[in-house]
Amino acid sequence: MSRKIARYGGEVILYDDAVLSHAEPALFAPAQSAQAPRASGGRGTALFVDCAGQPCVLRHYYRGGLIGRLLSDQFFWLGESMTRCFREWLLLEKLQDMGLPVPRPVAARYRRSGLIYTADLITARLPDVESLAARLACGAVPDETWRRVGECIARFHAAGVWHADLNAHNVQLDSSGRIFLLDFDRGRIRPAARSWQQSNLARLHRSLSKISANSTDPRNFSAQEWRWLVESHAAGLAGAQR
């Protein structure tokens, strides 16, 4: 992967020039369009776009929590290297180099105005995937899928990858059974520790329980399904430590 930076005054774009020959602000124009096709996901802020003939996903960064009511998409400027979009782009680049199943980062853009900036990220679109949330909402998920999800998360945890929002929307499954993780905003690589690994799993469990409670059959996610995932996760970590 080869990275370049294009600067347009207070608007700066980090991009992969193996995918894009150049990057201009117009690349991110769909972020301002309510008509752009919308990708499924947690907050519904991702849009399907085309970049140089390649299917991609564009995500605008929004704040959560109480402060999000005041500054919905505005972040305080702490320097270029600290922008949410650049940090996520660079983390995805590293995870790709590590062989972990994440989308390829294509371009990241911030727009600065004084002490405030807004941000966007474009990643390559994963073909033929749906979220674990969508799969669970529609019916029972096979035991093998739960085990593969556990194995996938174990690969990230063994590499020291902490996901800031590991929920069922960010776990993606393709038709051949492969598992991917999305949305590494605020994620980072840190020393392996059972405490944060279990915290990641607990967050996923809360997400799955909530989705199951609103699905056609709440019995589709029970203690047994979670046991398959956790056992596979534990086996994956043990295997990585050998």
Residues with a catalytic annotation lie at 165
φ, ψ of residue 120 to 5 degrees: the values are: -145, 155
Per-residue burial over 156-169, b = 16 or more CB atoms within 10 Å of its CB, e = otherwise: bbbeebbbebbbbb
Token pair for 46: 């991702």
**Dist CA 101 CA 92 (whole Å):** 10
Cα–Cα nearest to 40, from 156, 173, 139: 173
Compute the residue count for the chain.
Answer: 242
Q: How far is CA 145 from the centre of its chain?
A: 19
**Dist CA 23 CA 85 (whole Å):** 15
Q: Which residues neighbour 118 within 8 Å (Cβ) at sequence distance 6 or greater? A: 60, 61, 73, 74, 75, 110, 111
Per-residue burial over 192-202, b = 16 or more CB atoms within 10 Å of its CB, e = otherwise: beeeebeebbe
Cα–Cα nearest to 109, from 181, 29, 47: 29
DSSP structure class, residue 200: H
